[in-house]
Structure 1
Amino acid sequence: MDDFPRLLEQIDDVGEKITYRDALVMPTVVFPAGALPTLASGRLTDSPPQITRRMSIGEILAHLSSHGCNNVTEHLDPLGSTDYPVFNGGFGDIYRGSFRDGRSVGLKCPRLYIDSTDDGRRQLKSAAHELYVWSKCNHPNILGLIGVARYRNQLAMVSPWMENGTLRHFLSGQPPVDRYSLCAQIANGVAHMHSQGIVHGDIKSENVLISDDYTPKLTDFGNAALREYTLQFTATTSRPGMSLRWVAPEILEGSTGFTTEGDVYALGMTFLEVFTGSVPYAGINDFAIYSKIICGVYPGRPKQHMPFRHKQADPLWSLLLSCWAYNPQNRPTANQVRDKSHNSISTIIISMSLQPSLSFLRIGDPTAPHALELYLGQLYTSSPSFRHSPNRVDFTCPFSAKIFFKAIDPILKPAFTIGNYKGKVKLILRLQPQPWQVQVQVQVILVIEAALAVGRVAPEHFYTYVTRLFENQEQFFDIPVSNLTPIQIREKLVSLAPEGVDKAAVSELLKHKTTPNGGVAVTDDLKYNVKLGRQNGIHVTPSAVWDGLFMSDVSSSWAQEEWSKFLQAKVTV
């Protein structure tokens, strides 16, 4: 994939007129999706060594497949898609489809008619460029690219289906969600793109989708640009398309193209949408908006949604004003917006209490004035080398085990129960599965449910059981359990319960309810942990929260010296 830019340049050699139907006679291809099988060897591997001007689109894509592409056409259920587009626009149409295994997917079909004109070559190049940029984005707050397939004689970009639709549509239903957390997660996705050298170019609520668990995911990379390879395309002009209400003044004036500073400006406008549920400059016509943007006149503070002297609204509004600074050099970076969303805005809601069924997750005096919360669970990584690693399984996360054996057991537990901080700080363990790791989700759920079941049956033995889970984590890596049924995995987990635990009672709690999709007796406790982590913007583990605020500097490698300095700065002994 690293030589993709060079291949895109070769598309300029396409010369003779080709109909789109003819272009699809060859198998279509898809960029690597990680979990799907690669294309079988055969016709695609026989593609010519260079792209020539006589190739059809199918042949061009076949050539690209030799550079590490896959094909998901055979995974599509031909009877499982909508007859008509669920959304359409100038770029093309979006259908709802499904895989043969029942998973719903979105199918984005760009309108292409390739001929020897500049516009024709630009359309093909634009579609290929969008796919290339999209394939480089692997993050929980960015919509994942599954691949590309031939669909009804069209080229389709395939992604997971988001049932809640766009952020704008989602907000129109007045959902009971934490909007500060939504902002923080969107900023998290933008910061990741910028760290990869990618400028989005069209950030707004219509280009953010909402998953089933209310996770916002950036999408639509048609205007995206790479630092090392910048392309700007539309179907009719060499200038990129603009979304007026979100565009920065320097871009509107034409003095620059899309930039990270322009993304931050648009991010601020998107934050405003999150709280008002309306587009920026609502009720004002485009001509008047153009004048306001050029003159640096920005939307007024929506007092109904962001009241004055509010501990979260005030810092948020200050952040928005900094995002809209007329001089792009005076705007914060996406990383700074993300960090301020977590810290200054207090996205992490104070959540030091525990429901009664989870009281065993607390270490120390429950009345202690300070709380340290440690989220333990899976490791998230965007590195392809980790995609099939056991590191992602819940209690087998090596970094959660590291902080447990290096800090929790020898330092924090003694300090909060018998040491200088007894009665002053309580430690709360949060069991945090990461929903985006789909392929290991079964093990994740089973391990956490077992820990919750032991805690409910014998809370005094919960800590010992967690210790055993970490000590025996290799038994529950993905490969050792790959040939085991869920029942067999549960039996292994129950066998680790220490002496004094009623194992029969634990097993009973882990039996499925008779109602369909009812889960087991501790499923509601699992959901509580998932919802809490999602609401509080926790995306990686281990993560630390002190008195309700996310502590980005806490590390799993901290030893006695680092923890002593941290606690001395936070607590008066």
Structure 2
Amino acid sequence: MNVNSSEIMAVKQIELPKTKSDRLNERQQNLVKSFTDEMEILKDLDHEHIVQYIGFEKTDEAINIFLEYVNGGSIGTCLRIYGAFKEPVVRSFTRQILLGLQYLHNRGILHRDIKADNILVDEEGYCKISDFGISKKSEHLAYDHSSNMSLQGTIFWMAPEVFNSTKGYSAKVDIWSLGCVVLEMFAGERPWNNLTDLAAMFKLGSEKKAPPIREDIIMSSDARNFLDQCFIIEPNNRPTAEQLLQHPFAQENPNFHFKEYISIPGRT
């Protein structure tokens, strides 16, 4: 809690290496770099669908990042508790995530780890993109292909072109990952749920396949077409966040009330 404002905050902390050998350890160095990179990206962001950076504190022992507290947990947590979402909920969350991605991409930022566990949601159904630990600021426009990219992300949500990272990729990888989150919300389980990491890597990297949609999943033709757009294999042909915001599936429904579908108890 912020003692000056009584505001409840979330705190992300990383302990700093204590010994000389720890300081020379490459893994430790990468962890600290990822943490400080996340802080550098977050501090310049201000959008209703991105978790708000509040400040940081560095001591001899640790670095703390203070963030907006979102009291409903993540979409991933909700899926594990409540199961698959009804389509109106999926539509609402999808539009909000797209608005956040549009903001990021307009600023040349690739998130690179969009998945249900990295989308926070409050008890009113408002979504916030979080966890910018492997995000990257593009040297060019976000949708311009860049060769200065490494293999980053969580395998089951990664786009095929990431596995060819020597050739580079663009923010279109976030669009593919969004499709995976939409499928995740409809199915109540992660994409490629029946495959191991290695098997999914083969499907994506070698066969360039989109995650399958189970036959028992009920969704509208708009939803299926939206997924088809997200899962276009050729990234240059895959739509941008701005373009997908015009898709019928992503339109705002003024009659939608989140609590009619899911009741998330507020956590303190």
In 2 relative to 1, CA 159–151 (structure 1 residues): closer, same or farther, beyond 3 Å? farther
Q: Tell me the residue number matched to 1:223.
A: 134
Q: Which residue of 2 aligns with 1:242?
A: 153
Tell me the residue number matched to 2:80.
172
Q: Distance in 1 between matches of 2:254 and 2:129?
A: 27
- 2:12 is matched with 108
Residue in structure 2 matched with residue 305 of structure 1 by the alignment: 217
Normalised to the residue count of structure 1, the TM-score between the two structures is 0.39
Structure-2 residue corresponding to 1:296: 208
**Distance change >3 Å, CA 111–CA 265, structure 1 → 2:** farther
**Structure 2 residue 163 is matched with structure 1 residue 252:** yes
Compared CA separation, residues 333 and 229, structure 1 to 2 (3 A): closer
Q: Deviation at 1:225?
A: 1.0
Determine the C-alpha separation between the residues in 2 that align with 1:306 and 1:264: 22
Aligned-residue offset at 1:292 = 1.4
Deviations along 1:215-243, whole A, 9 cap, x unmatched? Answer: 1110111111112389xxxxxxx955431
Find 2:118's aligned residue among 207, 223, 239: 207
Q: Distance in 2 between matches of 1:152 and 1:106?
A: 21
Indicate conservation of the 8 Å contact 1:301/1:317, yes or no.
no
Q: Is 1:269–1:280's contact at 8 Å kept on the other side of the alignment?
A: yes
Distance change >3 Å, CA 534–CA 254, structure 1 → 2: same
1:228-264 deviations in whole A, cap 9, x for unaligned? 389xxxxxxx955431101111111333445211111
Show structure 2 runs of 5+ residues with no match.
142-148, 261-268
Tell whether the 8 Å contact from 1:201 to 1:259 is kept in structure 2 after alignment: no
| Matching residue of 1:137 | 45
> 1:317 corresponds to which letter in structure 2?
R
Q: Distance in 1 between matches of 2:250 and 2:155?
A: 31
**How far off is 1:271 after superposition?**
1.2
Per-residue CA shift, 1:49-102, capped at 9, x if unaligned? xxxxxxxxxxxxxxxxxxxxxxxxxxxxxxxxxxxxxxxxxxxxxxxxx22243
1:287 match: 198
* 1:118 Cα deviation from its structure 2 partner: 5.8
Q: Is the 8 A contact 1:200 1:225 kept in 2?
A: yes
State the AA in 1 paired with 2:210: Y
Q: Which residue of 194, 200, 221 corresponds with 2:105?
A: 194
- What secondary structure does 1:157 align onto? strand
Greater length-normalized contact order (CA 8 Å, ≥ 6 residues apart): 2
Q: Which runs of 5+ in 1 are unaligned?
A: 1-97, 231-237, 308-312, 352-530, 536-573
Please give the secondary structure, in 2, of the residue aligned with 1:115: helix
CA distance in 2, matches of 1:151, 1:104: 21
Aligned residue for 1:274, secondary structure, equals helix
Distance 1:152 1:285, change over 3 A: same
Superposition pairs of residues 263-342 of structure 1, within 5 angstroms:
263-294=174-205, 295-307=207-219, 313-340=220-247
Aligned to 2:71: 163
In structure 2, distance between residues paired with 1:326 and 1:281: 16
Distance (Å, rounded) in 1 between the aligned partners of 2:240 and 2:193: 26
Query: How many Å separate the matches in 2 of 1:192 and 1:534?
Result: 27
Paired with 1:346 and 1:129, the residues of 2 have a C-alpha distance of: 31
The 3-state SS of whatever aligns with 1:178 is helix
CA distance in 1, matches of 2:227, 2:60: 44
Q: Offset at 1:318?
A: 1.3
The aligned residue for residue 36 of structure 2 is 128
Contact 1:199 1:258 in 2 (8 A): no
Asked if the contact 2:95–2:252 (Cα under 8 Å) also holds between the matched residues in 1, the reply is no
Q: After superposition, where does 1:414-425 map in structure 2 within 5 Å?
A: none
RMSD: 2.9
**TM-score, length-normalised on structure 2?**
0.80
| Residue 285 of structure 1, CA deviation | 1.6
Q: Partners of 1:299 and 1:191 in 2: how far apart?
A: 24
Q: CA deviation at 1:533?
A: 10
Listed one character per residue, the Cα deviations across residues 480-524 of structure 1 (whole Å, up to 9, x for unaligned) are: xxxxxxxxxxxxxxxxxxxxxxxxxxxxxxxxxxxxxxxxxxxxx
Q: How far did residue 214 of structure 1 move? A: 1.5
> Relative to structure 1, is the Cα distance of residues 183 and 331 closer, same or farther in structure 2, using a 3 angstrom cutoff?
same
Distance 1:257 1:201, change over 3 A: farther
State the aligned residue count: 244
> 1:108 is paired with a residue of what secondary structure?
strand
Change (3 A) 1:149 1:319: same
CA distances 1:243-297 after superposition (whole Å, capped 9, x unpaired): 1101111111333445211111111111111222210011222222122113122
Asked whether the 8 Å contact 2:150–2:166 carries over to 1, the reply is no
Q: Distance in 1 between matches of 2:106 and 2:259?
A: 23
State the secondary structure of the residue aligned to 1:221: coil
**Percent identical:** 23
Distance 1:346 1:150 in 2: 41
> How far is the alpha carbon of 1:320 from its aligned partner?
1.2
CA 1:256–1:135 in structure 2 vs 1: closer, same or farther (change >3 Å)? farther
What's the offset of the Cα at 1:121? 5.1
Determine which structure has more spread, i.e. the larger CA radius of gyration: 1
- The residue number in structure 1 matching 2:265 is none
SS state of the match for residue 245, structure 2? helix
* AA of the residue aligned to 1:135: K
